[in-house]
Chains A and B, each alone.
Chain A
């Protein structure tokens, strides 16, 4: 583990407990977001990692070395640090700002300058900006510098304390993309404090939800959306965001009905009619003995058959639309709805029939998602839908080989 935090506790002299029994293992290249209300201890926890604060008890190890036994100045030089109010030195040029930690580490002038050019490129800012002063840059540009400054000495871990809180939404998004890129492409490890749930869910590989100094839930964004640990988490995420996220986190298997009515091809028309009557359905899915989906028969087909002893297999519709159990609802909902069928069979990866999705269940979810976000209520124009529909049919439906 790159960073390991065990039983961290921070108690202030006035008896206030800021952090209580905090445990976290962070691997290389992870993006950890600490999120919680103000006073939840998220910033306090982060600041203990570079010893800006000292824990009352518990240990923090970086690469298995206890940081309390390290020189705090050396430790801080090895950890990137980005704060909300940017924290560039206003009396230094951008270049001097970027070169700050390399200079403290005693890098040569040439190596520092080379690094400064590299960093400004990474920040996607023009090279001549190096000679400017922070005050001459916009807030977003300044924070870009703040971010790359934290990497200038090849720091592995970067701590960020609500770095984009003061920026407008568009600038914030472009900076989020920048740090995501740094994490994904350069393999940097981020510890990121935020109170913006969208930001946490968008960036993090692991979200740490904190309340009153305690960890409430530690999990991937998907799992947190799928299984919020308690009401606090639900509230923090927001009812609306949970509903909106449903199509993107629920898989087909979670909303399907299990035990669909099915029949094997060797049964007769009589058997089929009896089964339909018993289960009060007008369609039967046809599977072979191993449970592999073959097709379907419906009441109309049966009506046309005069000989009651005809085998089901002889008039099975092999043109059947199906979906895979592990696909996300968001990805398949369009295809299902546009097929215009009432029910869609669900199969596993070997085409075994495992369940059925009803149109009603789907519509409920889609409707909730739309109602949860009225501004996202922009259905694409119908010709595009037709395209998707055609593509979808080609993709997953089609003839089933016998």
Chain B
């Protein structure tokens, strides 16, 4: 192990950085798109089911196929990988945002409106804080998915820890396979743990 680290240490750090960059970028895009979209869906009478089903369909496309499909559009490198992973991250965030917002009790909404909150104040001061734990759970789930699937991104030249694993497979070198997959596992666990902390932090005290 020391030998592995001595030989590949620098590379490992660089690949982990790439891996994190791809995952974080995809997840950030997912949050930026899916959270507002999820909130918007709760304001619409129709269409919510359609949009969530569509996100579900996107989710069922095999990862390799989706990544490959990105090449004709975005070429190779990190951009197509980020776009593909972003598509995967959508469903859990979208679904949880929608459910979280729907789950805010009508009583609270009625009281907030009846006391004179504007549409915007209701959302910022009442609904989003109350839906935050559920939304956060969706983001957390997406984060672990994205980190795991980012491994495949190396196939389309995006780099990341997948490079170790695929090299290991090609060269029949188990140290490279393990040297790539163990950090991915650790990374996923670490991010999940940290986001779990965030989830607790955004949960109102009495709802914990």
Contact = CB atoms under 8 A, between A and B. Distances in A.
Interface of A: 50, 52, 73-78, 81, 83, 85-91, 100-101, 104, 133-136, 149, 159
A81 B111 contact: yes
Contact of B206 (A78, A85, A86, A136): A136
Interface residues of B, number: 21
A89 B116 contact: no
B204 A91 contact: yes
A52 B126 CA distance: 18
A89 B110 contact: no
Given A73-B116, A89-B112, A104-B116, A133 B205 contact: yes
Contacts of B107: 83, 85-87
B130 interface: yes
Given A86-B107, A91-B129, A76 B114 contact: yes
Contact of B111 (A73, A75, A88): A88
Given A73-B118, A104-B116, A90 B110 contact: no
A101 B118 CA distance: 12
Interface of B: 105, 107-108, 110-118, 121, 125-126, 129-130, 204-207
A6 to B, nearest CB: 23
Given A76-B116, A101-B116, A90 B111 contact: no
Nearest to A105: B116
B130 A90 contact: yes
Interface pairs A-B: 4 shortest CB-CB: A87-B111, A91-B204, A77-B116, A135-B206
Contacts of B115: 76-77, 81, 100-101, 104, 149
A75 B125 CA distance: 20
Given A133-B206, A134-B206, A136-B206, A91 B130 contact: yes
B176 to A, nearest CB: 49
Given A87-B107, A91-B207, A133-B205, A50 B114 contact: yes
Most buried by A among B112, B113, B116, B205: B116
A60 to B, nearest CB: 16
B110 A52 contact: yes
Contacts of A90: 108, 130, 204, 206-207
A74 B105 CA distance: 24
Nearest to A104: B116
